[in-house]
Chains A and B, each alone.
Chain A
Amino acid sequence: MAYKIKSAECTVCGACEAECPNIAISLKKGTYVIDPAKCTECQGHFDSPQCAAVCPADCCVPA
């Protein structure tokens, strides 16, 4: 159970990284990636996955 970032659509703005409660998102080789081992889809933290809610390109989706 984790989210992923569709890198082709990502604008590399970093909004998701700032919102992630699990510090699961980082910049790797010029694109942001979600560590599936750390991602909880924000359960226990918020009503909805924060990366998907903030992403301007709507490219954070269930893996």
Chain B
Amino acid sequence: MGNVVSLDSIFGLGQLAPPAVMPAAPETASGCSSSSCGSSDGPADMDPAVWEKVKNHPCYSEEAHHYFARMHVAVAPACNIQCNYCNRKYDCSNESRPGVVSEKLTPDQAIKKILAVAQEIPQLSVIGIAGPGDSLAAAGKNTFATFEMLQKKAPDLKLCLSTNGLALPDHVDTIAQYNIDHVTITINMVDPEVGAQIYPWIFYKHKRWTGLDAAKILHEQQMLGLEMLTSRGILVKVNSVMIPGVNDEHLLEVNKAVKSRGAFLHNIMPLISDPAHGTYFGLNGQRGPTAQELKVVQDACEGGAKLMRHCRQCRADAVGLLGEDRGEEFTADKIEAMGFVEYDDEARRTYREHVESERAGRNASKAAAQADVRESIGFTVDPILIAVATKGGERINEHFGHAKEFQIYEVGPNGAKFVGHRRVDQYCEGGSGDVDTLDGVLAAINDCTAVFVAKIGGCPSKSLADAGIEPVDRFAFDYIEESALAYFKDYAERLGQGVVQSRAGQDAVIRTGALTARRA
């Protein structure tokens, strides 16, 4: 471990000291170089070739999102469709948060920014173009110009793009040519009747189309583009915006349709809707789903196309790990002031090797914890939700008051799995807690039985306990899943004794405001 960049030095633990003894990597990891382990730590149900492609991509692998960072460059402001959840004064809201504007870049500026960020953030593994309009509108000129330069200047970074699919069939060959092996298509419907309620118009073949015609063309282009990509072995993630009363139940049909055409992942995201954003849905009072409504649809799609639940609906200029945005540190002015930036991938290589050694053996340790739970309590107790304060590395390593989001794990006899995240306002600013903010946190994790933290103060601890959510700091700096299983075992025993009560039936609030939290 001598020459390894430790997670703590990278994440900057602030006033929190790491424990004296970090859990050691298992014996099997020693002497195992990054690639010779093959897929030993990949999921059992995944083709090793696919795992190799996704294991370091935070948006395609739930596990990778604990370790790796992405960066979006906003080089594509033009769009070719209008969505009812989008106000084009701002960014596209299927890939960006409404109410905030990305800093638009030329391809040259984008390259300089990428190289500068890559030097500062060794976790960086992926460069994506998600807008702020559609990456393939206006013939995708800026998108492909950026990727062409990037491929030459920083070949170790993975490329991906995100599109509404309308222009996709025209560009599949170019996408393959630039080795873009991850593409996200936003597909909200497979029935034009539903589509007509979401898309007022599209621009296609030099004409503006409306109503059913527009939705039908968009649908056909999306399905064709999806089939063309998957037949070339390009991984496709499908994003769907869940709009209650419009496409919520219909998303099961979408899931089946995209799975049958080879989509790798399906990401169902909540509608972000607020009158202040000036969108059609925002102004006519269309609401977004609650946390449990979203989870019900996601759970119903389980067993179809693989579901993704760790999406943060990032801005088109987001920088950093998925739960954070370090874009403020890399504005155009600051990049300009940096002068010439060289390409050097040493820190990134070292970091990737470190992650490989961390990962080795994790599957076995998770399985052992799960077997222990099954053996001692069987299948008699229903799964529970646990909120976790983390800054990455699959560990419980964030202070309650510093968390800007909580990751939600469902844990039960079938194991612990990540099922989502809840954005909150940071409770502790400058050393003191804010009562209103605490209420917001309680509402965001109200369906959880416990909250895992590295540390928590006495006051919020009491409020949580009063609300029926147990604050737990005894697993500080340990791995999340193993800790969740250990907690569940203990919880099941206490439930049997009548000491604790089940929180089944509780719901929580999904925060829909713009991402305003800056990095502390």
Closest partner residue, chain B, to A21 (CB atom)? B206
- Within 8 Å by CB of B89, from A11, A14, A54, lies A11
The answer, yes or no, to whether B139 is at the interface (CB within 8 Å) is yes
Bitwise, B129-167 to A at CB < 8 A (1) or not (0) is 000010001110100000000000000000000000000
Contact of A13 among B133, B141, B207 (CB under 8 A): B133
Given A50-B206, A53-B206, A14:B77 Cβ within 8 A: yes
Chain A residues contacting B139 (CB-CB under 8 Å) are 18
With A18-B139, A53-B207, A56-B82 known to touch, is A12 a contact of B89 (CB < 8 Å)?
A: no
Q: State the main secondary structure of chain A at its contact with B.
A: loop
B261: Cβ under 8 A from any A Cβ = no
Which residues from chain A contact B207 at a C-beta distance below 8 Å?
46-48, 53
Smallest CB gap from A15: residue in B:
B78
* Chain A neighbourhood of B494, CB < 8 A: none
Chain A: minimal CB distance from B29 (Å): 49
Residues of A within 8 A of B89 (CB): 11, 57
Which A37-63 residues have a C-beta within 8 angstroms of B? 46-48, 50, 53-54, 56-57
- Given the known interface contacts A11-B88, A47-B207, the answer about A56 and B79 at a Cβ–Cβ threshold of 8 Å is yes
With A18-B139, A19-B206 known, 17 other A-B pairs at CB within 8 A are: A11-B89, A13-B79, A13-B133, A15-B78, A15-B79, A15-B80, A15-B133, A15-B137, A18-B137, A19-B203, A48-B208, A50-B206, A53-B208, A54-B78, A54-B80, A54-B208, A56-B133
A11→B80 contact, CB < 8 A = no
Residue among A12, A18, A19, A56 making CB contact with B141, cutoff 8 Å = A18
**Inter-chain contact count A-B, CB under 8 Å?**
50
- B interface majority secondary structure: loop
Specify which of A17, A19, A47 lies most central, judged by the most chain B CB atoms within 10 Å of its CB. A19
Specify which of A12, A13, A54 is in contact with B203 (CB 8 Å cutoff).
A54
Per-residue 0/1 for B309-329: is the Cβ within 8 Å of any A Cβ (1 yes, 0 no)? Answer: 000000000000000000000
Q: Which residues of chain B have a CB within 8 Å of any CB of chain A?
A: 77-80, 82, 88-89, 104, 133, 137-139, 141, 203, 206-208
Cβ-defined partner of A46 (8 Å) among B88, B137, B206:
B206
CB distance from B131 to the nearest CB of A (A): 10
Inter-chain contact B82/A15, CB cutoff 8 Å: no
A-B residue pairs in contact (CB < 8 Å), sample of 6: A11-B89, A15-B80, A15-B138, A18-B137, A18-B141, A56-B88
Q: Within the complex, what minimum Cβ distance (angstroms) separates B174 from chain A?
A: 16
Separation of A24 and B323 alpha carbons in the complex (Å): 43
Cross-chain contact A53 with B203 (CB below 8 angstroms): yes
* A13–B77 touching, CB < 8 Å: yes
Q: Could you tell me the distance between the alpha carbons of A54 and B203 in the complex, rounded to whole angstroms?
A: 6
Complex A-B, nearest 6 residue pairs according to Cβ-Cβ distance, in ascending order: A18-B138, A56-B88, A15-B78, A13-B77, A53-B208, A54-B203
Per the bound structure, the CA–CA distance linking A54 and B207 in Å amounts to: 8
Residues A13 and B208 in contact, CB atoms below 8 Å apart? no
Taking a contact as CB atoms under 8 Å apart, the answer to whether A57 and B88 are in contact is yes
Closest A residue to B78 using CB positions: A15
Docked Cα-Cα span, A12 to B208, in Å, equals: 19
Q: How far is the CA of A12 from the CA of B82 in the complex (A)?
A: 16
Q: Look across to chain A and name the residue whose beta carbon is closest to the beta carbon of B208.
A: A53
What's the least CB distance linking A48 to chain B, in Å? 7
Tell me the bound Cα distance from A56 to B88 in angstroms.
6
- Chain A: minimal CB distance from B99 (Å): 14
Other-chain residue from A11, A46, A47, A50 in contact with B77 (beta carbon distance below 8 A): A11
A56 to B237, CA, bound (A): 26
- The distance from the CB of A61 to the nearest CB of chain B, in whole angstroms, is 15
Closest to A45 in B: B206
Task: Give CA–CA (A18, B208) in the complex, Å.
Answer: 15
Q: How far is the CB of A15 from chain B (nearest CB, A)?
A: 4
How far is B42's CA from A39's CA once the two chains are assembled, in angstroms?
58
A13 → chain B, closest Cβ, in Å?
4
* CB–CB B78/A14 < 8 A: yes
> Chain B contacts of A15 at CB under 8 A?
78-80, 133, 137-138, 203
Q: Which residues of A lie under 8 Å from residue B82 when comparing CB positions?
A: 56
A18 to B138, CA, bound (A): 5
Closest to B205 in A: A46
Residues in chain A near residue B79, CB distance under 8 A: 13, 15, 56
